[in-house]
Amino acid sequence: MDKSAATNLHPPRNKGTPLHPEWFENIQVNLSASERRAATMTTRRTVKKEYQAAWLVKAIQCIDLTTLAGDDTDQRVHRLCAKAKRPLRTDIVETLGLADNPPTVGAVCVYPLLVSAAVKALSGSGIPVASVATGFPAGLTPLPQRLSEIRYAVDQGAREIDIVIHRAQVLTQDWTALYDEVSAMREACGEAHLKAILATGDLKTLRNVYKASMVAMMAGADFIKTSTGKEDVNATLPVSLTMVRALRDFGEFTGEKIGFKPAGGLRTAKDALAWIILMKEELGNEWLEPELFRIGASSMLADIERQLEHFITGRYSALSHHALA
Amino acid sequence: MPKVTEVLRTMDYGPAPESSTHVMSWLDQHKNGFGHFIDGEFAGSSGKQQFDALNPATGEVLARVAQGAERDVDAAVKAARKAFRTWSKLSGHDRARRLYAIARLIQKRERFLSVLESMDNGKAIRESRDIDIPLVARHFYHHAGWAELMASEFKGYGPLGVCGQIIPWNFPLLMLAWKIAPALAAGNTVVLKPAEFTPLTALAFAEICREAGLPQGVVNIVCGDGETGAHLVAHKDVDKIAFTGSTEVGRIIRTATAGTAKKLSLELGGKSPFIVYEDADLDAAVEGVVDAIWFNQGQVCCAGSRLLIQEGVAPRFIAKLKRRMDTLRVGSPLDKSVDMGPVVDLVQLNRIRGLVKQGEEEGGTLLQSVCELPAKGNYFAPSLFVDVEPASTVVQEEIFGPIAVAMTFRTPDEAIQLANHTRYGLAATIWSENINLALESAARMKAGIVWINSTNLFDAASGFGGYKESGFGREGGREGMYEYMTADWLETLPPLVDRKTPALSALPAATAEHQSIDRTAKLFIGGKQVRPDSGYSYSVLNAKGKSIGQAGLGNRKDIRNAVEAASKASSWGSATAHNRAQILYYIAENLSARAAEFTNRLMALGSKPKAASEEMGLSIQRIFYYAALADKYDGRVHSTRSRHVTLAMNEPFGVMGILCPDDAPLLGFISLVMPAIAMGNRVVAVPAALAPLAVTDFYQVLETSDLPAGVINIVTGDREELAKTLADHDEVASLWYHGSAAGCAAVEKASAGNLKSTWTNQGRQFDWYNDSHAQGEEYLRHATQIKNIWIPYGE
């Protein structure tokens, strides 16, 4: 195994636990209070100048640079991987003083059929390939197919599998079924890390989000992730707040450290800062590293590049001055 | 600045300073010192005594400000009086235009005002920028609306005149807005004294008034300390005093204004409970504590400073709270990433330190945030006392600093008991996801503001103000407007015709009208006829000076017993309004059945037949009137925030003392007691001393009308003596007094003890036969206090 390929993966895997409905069945999540906390998260904290620049570099290191489109091709993925390896223009890297250790993104995230192209393109870079699987985005294909899809992606070299849960199991509160499926998926992943996409836009209530988060973690998810990017509502701060609180509670119960990945709807440098603030406030600095924090995004990087150029030059930049992903 | 690589390692927030350039140049413009703003002009400050406005974060002098002397207050009141003549005559629309202009200009100057407020007071820029100043603008917008609608929404009401307003240093500009906006909307003019720690935004506001084209003299600002405030309170040409500040100073003001006919509203201290039930969203409740007590350095009168946590979740909740406390950032108020700045002044810091020391000496354990504090400035770390009991000093005293105290409870009943067991009654916070429990708790809170699953939410459309020793009167919304108005009819009443009541004699009367069988009028306490504790009776004389019977000479102990009986009859307040109405109707029915007897009694007491018959008829009609209103004096739902229900509920005070007028012995009694009990109060009534027998006959009517014991208690005797005992009594929440001007002054003064709400005739003669004066919602408003319950919703 290429050791450098595992740099962004958190070594101790989530061992999971038996299903403990009593840990979450009586959970209370108050929507308006969550919204108030989320709304003041970014009014209570801000970062400026060098600090902002560093935080944006950190955001880059946590991005799962993603393409999940029906028209993806090997060449499209190749181009994305090139950007993943060199997300910032060399002159910006040098001015920021990062030439010794230029930043790369957290991972590249693609469909299973494009894993091999990505693995090839990223060879030697240390950047892991993540693959969505399990009938992404709806997850409504038979379980054997979903599991074999995972095994296929892992075989192709994916180090991380972003699975989708079967939303009906949450909507009907069938926790045993959800637990069993995610456990089976975890087993199918083998050494690859499992990121459980809850598709929170479909779950609707924050209580559902909390409960689904808990069950996924009990079943062994290494990360919990908000959205596929295909739901009507993707990552929001109140939903993210609920998930990181669940993750914190799970840590209190088990000692396990679980990662968090907001995805979908994060497009700007400002969004990146908002979510880093959320992670820092609710979980602490350990959760600001790619081992425990990823941002699923495709267009955010371009905005971060422009902001960083502005930091360096004091001039507002144009998108065309930075390489396409 | 550290290198990017360094920050990548630490991932610190770093400094995020808000610029003070514009404020500094404003201060520079005024470097010779600020004078008072009187009659539209800034008076020169030269030759005047001055004081320093300090920046609590640095100790630097921001400005020199004139200290208001008596002559400055005189000049300001004179200007306000002159301006009142024209301002009060303007149409509501014309006043609305001016208030609207002020609201707009505040918005356009929002950052300037935020920065200035943070520099002068020490509050974090996040708060002044996102909370204080937007609420200031909102308050002026809202009251521009009331100005516009004054004539149609408040028919029969007019302005008071010149309002003296004294505001605290914790929300300087916001408290100014709460005071000035409603006063101006109603057509009053204002002399306002900002706190000496924080005068600067008020002075900036004066400039905005000028910019907005507010007529000269409508708003006057006189700076200074408590002495300046005392001059304003004592000024003879001031019609109203509105004060926000400590309960201690509130008491002084209540005493000083007693008998002056100045209308008074007091918004005072608190030690507000913050209840966390086991079914609460604990993480949300933790954020609630942050917004409750680590907001504005805990210098918040309505701060949820007394945490009551259900035992089963207490360890987990405290652990979560401790973790959250450690992530708070304390530092320069102008840093945009700071949660808490310094407390306002060294004096306050030392007071906080003293109380904390006492708390530790009494066995409390102080948990403190690990956050770094700046080396200089008046900083105090966010703190939490555990291992404290209801008997601990820090649990009872308002600390007015960033220190919560935490205790546990076992059951909802115990939580409510602990919550209400305080002399204060400003606010309460309840965290529970169970709507039944949350609303039950809210209903039972003895507090003017209740927040469910939220805390410290404010809006101009909602009333704000306390129960008990947290003061009286409301600010904001429709209820707040009444504090700046008076009913037109009240202003037309002539002075009271003083009947010169002779001292009541316990000696046998010289002559008497003999009755066929002697009747004994007793006191009526707790549903029973009882003999006076003194063992004395006095003779009741008719117009010819002949005795027509005796009445008990009630004393302090009778009042004590009556209050205790009234206190026990608390279920009356929770009976349905329909139930209360039915009993009122039944009283009227039984009184009507004995109309001839009562008419005769009134004639025996000196009434002409026609007058006696009219008094009888009106008495029955008035009982019907309040029976009719009992279930129709509804509360409101205020339009505050989206996805919130803000319920304004009319609640009874509890135990009321009612001192009845000498004229119309039965009708006067009925006109005052019926609205009080219709709203759910229990009453200790003292009937007219010279003619008590119509009222003592009346208890037989009560006895046959299913009125629960203790709801109406009747103690006969010397009014002034009994009034004093009632006014002094801490269990009596509200007192109505009809009698001489001197008597009014005496009860108002004595009421300062527990800051009970008082309503007196101000030495005026009420006309009990005139329906438009002697009955109406004005009576119900005085018989109730408004509780605003905030209920956010959403799943």
* pLDDT reading at B498 higher than 90: no
Q: Which of A26, A43, A54 sits opposite B7 (nearest CB)?
A: A54
CATH class of B272-465: alpha beta
Segment B196-228, tens digit of pLDDT: 999 999 999 999 999 999 999 999 999 999 999
> Which residues have C-beta within 8 Å of that of residue B795, sequence separation ≥ 6?
A31, A205, A207
Residue B475: name the closest of B135, B726, B734 by CA.
B135
Query: How large is the average pLDDT for residues B711-723?
Result: 97
Domains of chain A: 47-321 (3.20.20.70)
> Which residues have C-beta within 8 Å of that of residue A227, sequence separation ≥ 6?
A197, A198, A199, A200, A201, A233, A234, A235, A262, A263, A264, A265, A296
Best to test chain B binding among A37, A41, A51 (most B CBs inside 10 Å) = A51
For B571, half-sphere exposure in the C-beta direction (CA atoms, 13 angstrom radius) is 4
Lowest mean pLDDT among A177-181, B492-496, B789-793: B492-496
Helix (H, G, I), strand (E, B) or coil at B225: coil
Helix axes A206-218, A175-189, angle to 10 degrees: 50
* pLDDT reported for residue A8: 66
Compute the nearest-CA separation of A286 from chain B (Å): 10
For residue B510, what pLDDT band results from cuts at 50, 70 and 90? confident
The token duo for B605 is: 């007491």
Q: ipTM of this model? A: 0.95
**Is the distance from CB of B790 to CB of B450 less than 8 angstroms?**
yes
* pLDDT reading at A11 higher than 90: no
**Euclidean distance between CA atoms B359 and B397, whole angstroms:** 10
The answer to whether the Cβ–Cβ distance between A28 and B280 falls below 8 Å is yes
Helix (H, G, I), strand (E, B) or coil at B96: helix
Size of interface A-B (CB pairs under 8 A): 101
The answer to whether the Cβ–Cβ distance between A28 and B282 falls below 8 Å is yes
**Euclidean distance between CA atoms A239 and A237, whole angstroms:** 5
**Euclidean distance between CA atoms A4 and A123, whole angstroms:** 10
CATH 3.40.309.10 boundaries in chain B? 272-465
**Mean pLDDT, rounded, of chain B:** 96
* pLDDT reading at B517 higher than 90: no
Identify the contact set of chain A against chain B, taking CB-CB distances under 8 A: 26, 28-37, 40, 43-51, 53-55, 57-58, 96-98, 205, 207, 245, 276, 280-281, 285, 288
How buried is residue A75: exposed, middle or buried, by Cβ count under 10 Å (0-12/13-18/19+)? Answer: exposed
The catalytically annotated residue of B301, B302, B660, B744 is: B301
Query: How large is the average pLDDT for residues B177-196?
Result: 98
CATH 3.40.605.10 boundaries in chain B? 20-268, 523-762+774-792
Query: How large is the average pLDDT for residues A16-21?
Result: 98
**Euclidean distance between CA atoms B389 and B739, whole angstroms:** 45
Looking at the annotation, which residues of A are catalytic? 162, 225, 261
**Euclidean distance between CA atoms A108 and A63, whole angstroms:** 8
Q: Which of B2, B126, B281 sits opposite A44 (nearest CB)?
A: B126
* pLDDT reading at A2 higher than 50: no
How buried is residue B370: exposed, middle or buried, by Cβ count under 10 Å (0-12/13-18/19+)? Answer: exposed
pTM above 0.90, yes or no: yes
**Is the distance from CB of A46 to CB of B337 less than 8 angstroms?**
yes
Q: Are strands B403-409 and B383-386 parallel, antiparallel or unpaired?
A: parallel
Best to test chain A binding among B1, B6, B9, B11 (most A CBs inside 10 Å) = B11
The answer to whether the Cβ–Cβ distance between B4 and A205 falls below 8 Å is no
Segment B119-132, tens digit of pLDDT: 999 999 999 999 99
Helix axes B577-593, B595-604, angle to 10 degrees: 70
Closest-CA residue of A relative to B791 is A32
Closest-CA residue of A relative to B794 is A31
Segment B628-679, tens digit of pLDDT: 999 999 999 999 999 999 999 999 999 999 999 998 999 999 999 999 999 9
* pLDDT reported for residue A6: 46
Closest-CA residue of B relative to A39 is B130
Share of chain B above pLDDT 90, in %: 94
Segment A221-256, tens digit of pLDDT: 999 999 999 999 999 999 999 999 999 999 999 999
* Total residues found in chain A within this entry: 325
Superfamily of domain B20-268: Aldehyde Dehydrogenase; Chain A, domain 1 (3.40.605.10)
CATH class of B523-762+774-792: alpha beta
**Is the distance from CB of A262 to CB of A235 less than 8 angstroms?**
yes
Closest-CA residue of A relative to B434 is A28
Q: Which of A34, A35, A54 sits opposite B8 (nearest CB)?
A: A54
Is residue B126 within 8 angstroms of chain A, CB to CB? yes
**Euclidean distance between CA atoms B541 and B468, whole angstroms:** 40
The catalytically annotated residue of B117, B127, B148, B267 is: B267
* pLDDT reading at B25 higher than 50: yes
* pLDDT reported for residue B440: 97
Compute the nearest-CA separation of A208 from chain B (Å): 10
Question: Higher pLDDT residue, B503 or B729?
Answer: B729
Best to test chain A binding among B12, B13, B283 (most A CBs inside 10 Å) = B283
Residue B524: name the closest of B664, B673, B663, B680 by CA.
B673
- Contacts of residue A276 in chain B, CB cutoff 8 Å? 11
* pLDDT reading at A4 higher than 50: no
**Euclidean distance between CA atoms B222 and B43, whole angstroms:** 10
The answer to whether the Cβ–Cβ distance between B794 and A45 falls below 8 Å is no
**Euclidean distance between CA atoms B443 and B453, whole angstroms:** 15
Q: Chain B 428-467, CB below 8 Å of chain A: which residues? A: 433, 453-454
Residue B667: name the closest of B770, B751, B783, B578 by CA.
B770
Sheet holding B41-42, edge to edge: B41-42, B37-38, B219-221, B189-193, B162-166, B240-244, B263-267, B471-472
**Euclidean distance between CA atoms B565 and B698, whole angstroms:** 18
Query: How large is the average pLDDT for residues A83-108?
Result: 97
The answer to whether the Cβ–Cβ distance between B8 and A48 falls below 8 Å is no
